[in-house]
Structure 1
Amino acid sequence: MIIRAGFSISFTCTAPTPMLLLLNVRPEREADLLAPENFRAFPEVPLRRYQDRFGNTCTRLVAPVGQITFTNDFLIEDSGLHELLPIGAPEAPVDSLPDDILMYLMGSRYCDTQRLMTIAWELFGNVAPGWARVEAILNYTHNHLTFGYGYARNDRTAFDAYAERVGVCRDFAHLAITLCRCMNIPARYCTGYLGDIGVPADPNPMDFSAWFEVYLGGAWHTLDARHNEPRIGRILVARGMDATDTAISMAFGSANLSEFTVVTEEASDQQTGFQSADNSVSTSLGVAS
């Protein structure tokens, strides 16, 4: 399967403003790209890239006064298969976890483990460890929270979501991650593209999605507390402790969001391009302007 994905995001700045963007596909998926990502800025400004401590690709720039628009479009190969659940996978004792996994047991800005520790053990302490316990957390989070775009709030922590019982995809991920960490199961936050492939189309405008990964049986596994079912065609952009580490943009000054469009869908034959005489691949995505 080939997936077409990309975005167009505009900001308006009242002064030259340093910005940090996390909008590129994770390095692990670069080998699946049919051609390099077509990431551009209008007007053109110098862009500098580096990888942060989580391995995310970050872009630094200084936005000029006025409007700046960032676009990206790409075609990426995908297996077309549903994600596999780690059924039967065991937990690892904390003292046997690899050193670089330990941080994913810690509390963080939005994953306030101290406030949920007692609640988590009351809810899941009697559930068998391993996948059974993670599945119980997944089902609990999915059923406990009501999803709605109108519930979006950028300062809601996992405990807030637990108490308010509402949220968007990032709140589902934060609550599930926090409950896992309280039970000594490493969990980390993920964001990226998730199109309506193999499921009924969502009438709401496309957005980036949030999900999480748990460490069971010596490997990381993708889970989604909002949808609570394996999906097709997830494209990872960034991962970290929580949404703090994966914000798609950060402005060190005034930068007001003025336009935001995301595209992710199975590509049609016309969109996948053709092989020309010079062996280059031609694509037609229609995201960039």
Structure 2
Amino acid sequence: MLIQSEFDIQFRLSYPTAMVALLHLHPSLEADLQSGNHLFVEQIQEAGSGQITGEPMLIPSTEYHDSFGNRCTRFIAPAGTIRLKASAVTLDDGLPDQIAADAQQAPVENLPSEVLQFLLPSRYCEVDRFGAISNDLFGWASPGWSKAAAIRDWVHNKVAFNYQTARPTKTAMDVYTERIGVCRDFQHLAITLTRCQNIPARYVTGYLGDINRPYSGAGDFSAWYEVFLDGKWMTMDARHNDSRHGRVLMATGRDAADVAITTSFGDAYLSHFYVDSFEVDESGKKLPIPGMPELAPA
């Protein structure tokens, strides 16, 4: 299965501003990359109607890998309008998310040292406040996959999804109290409850398109999480709690604070946002999605 992922994000800035972006595909996907994955950082000129005039000017940028192994881009965005865009095609095995019912968790003393940080409290995951709550809810469950899946399912069933409730300061305790949120909120609560049961859990960002399922609306980046069982990371998703196809990994971290798609060290007004991820054939043609509206002929 070939998956094309793409985005076009634009900001307006009043003055030059330092920015960092985590918009490349994750380095672990290099072997599966068929084309693209080059981030274009451009300054664009707009007419009064918002139409782009003239050729965009490329903004110099540099890259580095952060402490979690994510590929990051840093640059100085000039005043005016900038555009971040990229497209990539990756080879996917076409299999749905793994269900590993027999997967076991390791005793904490046997976990790799680099994994231990994913048991600890972090910015949005207040593990230190959830010990008694998590034990009351899940202390009964068998260790390993069964316990991790029970936590995922509980969060999925107890939290309602609503874009209008999004806010950047919402923590796992807020989600537990309010029982409503967006993708990141589902994952933060599930991660926190999972860590309390001594199962390492980390936050993930990437693409999740409507592949092998009915069309559900405009594309977006998505969040899910991974648990460390049987000595490897396995996908969990408390928001989209079914076995999905075509996840495309971008970044991992302790929580959303570590993997923001863009960070601006100053004011940056988001003026345009387009994201999509879809299956293509070998010629690059987009494969149809059931229920997706057909575009009117030009």
TM-score by length of 1: 0.91
Q: 2:133, 2:65 → 1: CA distance?
A: 37
* Alignment match of 2:276 (pick from 263, 267, 274): 263
Provide, for residues 71-94 of structure 1, a one-character-per-residue CA deviation record: whole Å limited to 9, x for no partner.
Answer: 101211111111212211111111
* Alignment match of 2:194 (pick from 180, 186, 207): 180
Correspondence for 1:123: 137
- What residue identity is the alignment partner of 1:229? D
Correspondence for 2:72: 58
Segment of structure 1 superposing worse, 110-119 or 100-109: 110-119
Where do 1:1-289 residues align within 5 Å? 1-43=1-43, 44-203=58-217, 205-268=218-281, 270-271=283-284
CA contact (8 A) 1:26 1:57 kept: yes
After TM superposition, which residue ranges in structure 1, 4 or more long, deviate above 6 angstroms? none
CA contact (8 A) 1:90 1:130 kept: yes
Q: CA deviation at 1:272?
A: 5.3
Q: CA deviation at 1:268?
A: 4.1
Q: 2:92, 2:231 → 1: CA distance?
A: 24
- What residue identity is the alignment partner of 2:12? T
Q: 1:173, 1:234 → 2: CA distance?
A: 15
DSSP-derived class of the 2:152 partner:
helix
DSSP-derived class of the 1:140 partner:
helix
Segment of structure 1 superposing worse, 188-197 or 141-150: 141-150
DSSP-derived class of the 1:114 partner:
helix
Q: 2:282, 2:229 → 1: CA distance?
A: 39
DSSP-derived class of the 2:257 partner:
helix
Provide, for residues 80-110 of structure 1, a one-character-per-residue CA deviation record: whole Å limited to 9, x for no partner.
Answer: 1112122111111111111111000000010
Provide, for residues 8-42 of structure 1, a one-character-per-residue CA deviation record: whole Å limited to 9, x for no partner.
Answer: 00011111100000000000112211124232122
Q: 2:38, 2:65 → 1: CA distance?
A: 18
Q: 1:168, 1:36 → 2: CA distance?
A: 30
Q: 1:38, 1:215 → 2: CA distance?
A: 30
- What residue identity is the alignment partner of 1:212? Y
Q: 1:253, 1:21 → 2: CA distance?
A: 14
Q: 1:64, 1:268 → 2: CA distance?
A: 39
CA contact (8 A) 2:2 2:282 kept: no
CA contact (8 A) 1:2 1:272 kept: no
Q: CA deviation at 1:116?
A: 1.5
Q: 2:282, 2:91 → 1: CA distance?
A: 14
Larger strand fraction of residues: 2
Q: For structure 2, list consecutive stretches of 5 or more residues without a partner in the other structure.
A: 44-57, 287-298
Q: For structure 1, list consecutive stretches of 5 or more residues without a partner in the other structure.
A: 274-289
Provide, for residues 109-129 of structure 1, a one-character-per-residue CA deviation record: whole Å limited to 9, x for no partner.
Answer: 100112211100000111111
- What residue identity is the alignment partner of 1:240? G
Provide, for residues 209-254 of structure 1, a one-character-per-residue CA deviation record: whole Å limited to 9, x for no partner.
Answer: 0000001111110111111111111000000000000000000111
TM-score by length of 2: 0.89
CA contact (8 A) 1:223 1:230 kept: no
Instruction: Tell me how many residue pairs correspond in the alignment.
Output: 272
Q: CA deviation at 1:181?
A: 0.5
Provide, for residues 158-180 of structure 1, a one-character-per-residue CA deviation record: whole Å limited to 9, x for no partner.
Answer: 11101100011101110110001
Q: 2:102, 2:282 → 1: CA distance?
A: 40
Q: 1:98, 1:30 → 2: CA distance?
A: 24
